Amino acid sequence: MQEKYTPADIERAAQQHWDETGAARAVEDHSKPKYYCLSMFPYPSGKLHMGHVRNYTIGDVLSRFHQMQGYNVLQPMGWDAFGMPAENAALANNVAPAGWTYSNIDYMRTQLKSLGFAIDWEREFATCTPAYYRWEQWLFTRLYEKGLVYKKLGTVNWDPVDHTVLANEQVIDGRGWRSGALIEKREIPMYYMKITAYAEELLAELDNLPGWPEQVRLMQKNWIGKSTGVRFAFPYEIDGRPEKLWVFTTRADTIMGVTFVAVAAEHPLAQRAAVNNPELAKFIEECKQGGVAEADIATMEKKGLPTGIFVTHPLTGEQVEVWVGNYVLMSYGDGAVMAVPAHDERDFAFALKYNLPIKQVVGVDGEFFSDQQWAEWYADKVKGTLVNSCQYDGLGYEAAVDAIAADLAAKNLGDKKVQFRLRDWGISRQRYWGCPIPIIHCPTCGDVPVPDDQLPVVLPENVEITGAGSPLAKMPEFYECKCPKCGGDAKRETDTMDTFFESSWYFLRYACPDNTTAMVDERVQYWCKGGIDQYIGGIEHAILHLLYSRFFTKLMRDVGLIGDLGEPFANLLTQGMVVAPTFYREGENGKKLWLNPADVDVVTDERGRPTGATLKADGLPVIIGGTEKMSKSKNNGVDPQSLIEQYGADTARLFMMFAAPPDQSLEWSDAGVEGAYRFLRRLWKLTHDHVQAGTVDAKIDQNSLSTAQADLRRKLHQTMQKVADDYGRRKQFNTAIAAVMELLNAYDKCDLADATGRALAQETLESAALLLFPIVPHIGQALYAELKPGQDAGLSTFPKADPEALKQDEIELMVQVNGKLRGAIRVAADADKASIEAAALASEGALKFMEGKPAKKVVVVPGRLVNIVA
RNA sequence: GCCCGGGUGGUGAAAUUGGUAGACACAAGAGACUUAAAAUCUCUCGCUCUUUGAGUGUACGGGUUCGAUUCCCGUCCCGGGCACCA
């Protein structure tokens, strides 16, 4: 065995061995339980970032651990290859999106391979190939025929200078990122997926996901947002015709406190009122300004204008004025809300601002209502009862809602209704680098789905990207076509699909990536039945991607493609973000130029707090931004390549797993990498020193161990238990590593010179190699082969604790007096409560701090401590 | 603004079911070895004080408990998501 740890050689040899033996190949085998371990596939942005290393190392640890536990493991990898960055790169560097994407994939595949992940590369695919996206076009046409895809108007960000639709990310402070123009909302026809038809099921199934983090289930639940309320109408007359203005509320109990109604700027009533009201028309025009992102709408100043139109209160018959409010969303519910300033905080602020009446209709005993100052209890559903509400006075929330809903129903003006916050999923994108929507627009037949025999609609790869509008819309050779129904001249749809479409079913395709005649086949049943065993990915995907994937699994079931697999992901591990500081300089036009942390030196004061930063290249100051998720747009990603090259894959993997538990966010810093490398070197040396003296049989007679040796052996077997629990149940790899470090610290201190000691040393080192193998497989493979020549660590069984070695005669208990630690006692492991109490009361610490007072109470916590209350 | 997390030494963190706060590391300091450097090894390391001991300490303010980093109420700060970044 060579004396020096040389990661480059070891890693090359191990990877070659795994390649040659097909160690990561996954084949359906019904004799073993399957374990499908999936990590969220990467967008091929150019090179791996730390988040990828973290994500895929977690997946690899779990895959390799389960392999050693006897499972038939599948760990696939692919590329989420459509998306905006390819078009941005095309613009910036004048390269074709396809070529850019494929060369990124080639580079990133090399990087992934150098990290030694046990990935079955024969299942790899990229979503931008027709072989993949043809199936989503095919599915799209099926769903279109079933009415689960439909067309309606949607609101987008419009850049009036570049004449193009912008993504929310491309709108910065209400302006287009390239043109700097003020962005407007614009309504265009789009295709929608009817996810709301599955709202009830998507909500209910959350309760059947015990393997998901509670926080993710809660976020999805709130996102779907089921609420029971009352939908009712305010009757009115306009242009001589009777009409109804519909609203939805979860607070029907406060209906007697309505003092105005607010509608969205796009609401027909607002449009009608603006016809002969120039001021209102101007306000509605103003409301179009700004982007469509909800965060912007929710944080902007609430503004409104009266329409001069009055509607009739359905219960009191009073006239109530209609206002246009910039905070009312047309896309949510009916685009109109009743306003009860007394019991809704936003309405209260709005009423104060515009001097609108505030009418209290809920009271709480002992509380005083002021129409000048908002108080939390005004909106409380539980504490209050109705006042100033005629026949409803004295009723509580539920009784009031019931009575009011019944009265509205009797007047045919409303009823109870279940409403969801979830909206249908708009999938049309006015962009090039995506899957073409397979629809043909015919002047006579209307929208016609592309027939199966004309699929796939192939995305042309030789295009010119200008940043103004979609290139496909400028390519007659793409959009000119014949109607499949009537054969007449027609126009192909030039919008592409949201890239979430690709990522909503890729996990099923890994089961059968080679199938050229069907989207999925029966192999999906083997790998995915009951759900993918472990899914790992960033917490930032907690809602959209995961919800869409759940939705697709149900859609595909209902189209008859996959039977009933259940939920797609049985167990979910949401990895915390790898975050890094951001740095920037401001350009001439105020645009921020983001600088990579690797190119910046941070200046700190004597306490280590950052006081400023300079660019390495020119030594001049840069501005420190916030600490944010590593991203291309903020240029704060750190390339792991230099880390791998300098220290090797095992050090990179070990350090990533040791730095923080997987679900916690990890702030990137170089410090600590050295420590991980040092540990591996030490592990290598300990094994080397032992092997030099000759390997021995690890069989041990428990009775021939010295006390110190028995303690070490107990620690070894405790460590086996702890590490298996950390990998399997807790998924906390940092503590598993710490446990092995502790074990080796103890090993170092123990005298193992005699024959029994040599056997114990052998057992300890063999176990350490296997315990760490899932995290650092290359060195694990090499050390195990030295300790047991001819043996393959990856094919070995994970170490299992021997109950004999775990036995302990005496244990230590802490002694507290009045909850403060005052000493410790040693007692027999099976000592009874009375003798423990006696020993504690007689202990030095207890005697000193009880100062002769009698014990009022003694609490014994078995195996832990004794607390004496004096 | 709304929804979901998080906050523990100089730093990353541990404490798994309410029971020894700071395991395991990083950084720093001191020492050993060495011609020297690197590497390695040993020791110190939350804060304060009257230092063989004691007080205090898990963002902040309250509460429940024999006992709270852990549970409850309120506040502040940081991160993620908010439907066209992926």
pLDDT > 60? residue A318: yes
Residue-level pLDDT at A183: 95
What is the DSSP secondary-structure string of A565-593?
--SSBSBEEEEPPEEEEEEEEE-TTS-EE
The band of A464, judged by pLDDT with boundaries at 50, 70 and 90, is confident
Distance A377 CA to B75 C1' (A): 18
Min mean pLDDT across A418-422, A664-668, A795-799 is at A664-668
Residues 805-834 of A with CB under 7 A from strand B: 812, 814, 816, 818-821
> What is the ipTM score, two decimals?
0.96
Distance A9 CA to B17 C1' (A): 47
Min mean pLDDT across A237-241, A477-481, A594-598, A735-739 is at A594-598
Q: Which of A292-306, A503-517, A601-615, A624-638 has the highest mean pLDDT?
A: A503-517
Q: Return the closest nucleotide (C1') to the Cα of A166.
A: B84
Q: Is the CB of A298 under 7 A from strand B?
A: yes
Beta bridge partners of A426: A192
Q: Helical H runs in A776-832?
A: 777-787, 803-806
Q: Return the closest nucleotide (C1') to the Cα of A292.
A: B84
pLDDT > 80? residue A604: no
Cα–Cα nearest to A369, from A390, A341, A350: A341
Min mean pLDDT across A164-168, A205-209, A361-365, A786-790 is at A361-365
Q: Return the closest nucleotide (C1') to the Cα of A821.
A: B20
Q: Is the CB of A863 under 7 A from strand B?
A: no
Residues 135-164 of A with CB under 7 A from strand B: 154, 156-157
The total number of residues written for chain A in this structure: 870
pLDDT > 70? residue A603: no
Mean pLDDT of the A478-505 span:
97
Mean pLDDT of the A601-612 span:
58
Min mean pLDDT across A759-763, A847-851, A855-859 is at A847-851
pLDDT > 50? residue A130: yes
pLDDT > 80? residue A819: yes
pLDDT, averaged across chain A: 93
Q: Return the closest nucleotide (C1') to the Cα of A738.
A: B24
Residue-level pLDDT at A143: 98
Distance CA A311, CA A317 (A): 9
Model-level pTM?
0.94
Residue-level pLDDT at A606: 47
Residue A675: how many other CB atoms lie within 10 Å: 13
The band of A636, judged by pLDDT with boundaries at 50, 70 and 90, is confident
**Share of chain A residues as helix, strand and coil, in percent rounded to the nearest 5:** 40, 20, 35
The secondary element (H helix, E strand) that includes residue A821 is strand A820-828
A670 vs A858, residue with greater confidence: A858
Q: Return the closest nucleotide (C1') to the Cα of A865.
A: B19
Q: Return the closest nucleotide (C1') to the Cα of A165.
A: B84
Q: Return the closest nucleotide (C1') to the Cα of A433.
A: B84
pLDDT > 70? residue A714: yes
Residue-level pLDDT at A467: 81
Q: Is the CB of A666 under 7 A from strand B?
A: yes
Q: Is the CB of A667 under 7 A from strand B?
A: yes
Identity of the residue numbered A293? A
Distance CA A860, CA A866 (A): 5
Per-residue pLDDT tens over the stretch A432-455: 999 999 999 999 999 999 999 999
Residues 91-120 of A with CB under 7 A from strand B: none
C-beta separation of A691 from A788 below 8 A? no
Q: Is the CB of A353 under 7 A from strand B?
A: no
Distance A870 CA to B56 C1' (A): 22
Per-residue pLDDT tens over the stretch A203-216: 999 999 999 999 99
pLDDT > 90? residue A191: yes
Cα–Cα nearest to A261, from A313, A215, A221: A313
Cα–Cα nearest to A137, from A554, A427, A441, A513: A427
Residues 356-415 of A with CB under 7 A from strand B: none
Q: Is the CB of A546 under 7 A from strand B?
A: no
Instruction: For strand B, give the nucleotides within 7 A of a protein CB.
Output: 1-6, 10-16, 19-21, 23-27, 39-42, 54-55, 66-68, 78-86
Q: Is the CB of A537 under 7 A from strand B?
A: no
Using the C1' atom of nucleotide B26, identify the protein residue whose alpha carbon is closest: A672
The band of A610, judged by pLDDT with boundaries at 50, 70 and 90, is low
Residues 710-729 of A with CB under 7 A from strand B: 722, 725-726
Using the C1' atom of nucleotide B66, identify the protein residue whose alpha carbon is closest: A869
pLDDT > 80? residue A264: yes
Task: Determine the Cα angle at A47 with ends A46 and A53, to 5°.
Answer: 145
pLDDT > 90? residue A626: no
The band of A607, judged by pLDDT with boundaries at 50, 70 and 90, is very low
A14 vs A369, residue with greater confidence: A14
What DSSP character marks residue A230?
E
Tokens at A113, concatenated: 């391979």
Task: Determine the Cα angle at A741 with ends A739 and A745, to 5°.
Answer: 115
Distance A363 CA to B29 C1' (A): 66
Q: Which SS3 state, helix, strand or coil, does residue A512 take?
A: coil
Distance A300 CA to B69 C1' (A): 39
Min mean pLDDT across A313-327, A473-487, A819-833 is at A819-833
Cα–Cα nearest to A719, from A771, A651, A780: A771
pLDDT > 70? residue A502: yes
C-beta separation of A829 from A811 below 8 A? yes
C-beta separation of A366 from A305 below 8 A? no
Min mean pLDDT across A260-274, A576-590, A702-716 is at A576-590
Residue-level pLDDT at A509: 98
Q: Return the closest nucleotide (C1') to the Cα of A666.
A: B12
The band of A654, judged by pLDDT with boundaries at 50, 70 and 90, is very high
Distance A487 CA to B24 C1' (A): 73
The band of A742, judged by pLDDT with boundaries at 50, 70 and 90, is very high
pLDDT > 90? residue A57: yes
The band of A166, judged by pLDDT with boundaries at 50, 70 and 90, is very high
Distance CA A44, CA A21 (A): 28
Q: Is the CB of A425 under 7 A from strand B?
A: yes
Buried b (16+ CB within 10 A) or exposed e, A170-191: bbeeebbbbbeebbbbbeeebb
Mean pLDDT of the A132-147 span:
98
Q: Which SS3 state, helix, strand or coil, does residue A340 take?
A: coil
The band of A611, judged by pLDDT with boundaries at 50, 70 and 90, is low
Residue-level pLDDT at A595: 83
Site of tokens 């994108």: A429
Distance A822 CA to B55 C1' (A): 14
Per-residue pLDDT tens over the stretch A13-22: 999 999 999 9
As a whole-number percent, the residues of chain A with pLDDT over 90 amount to 81
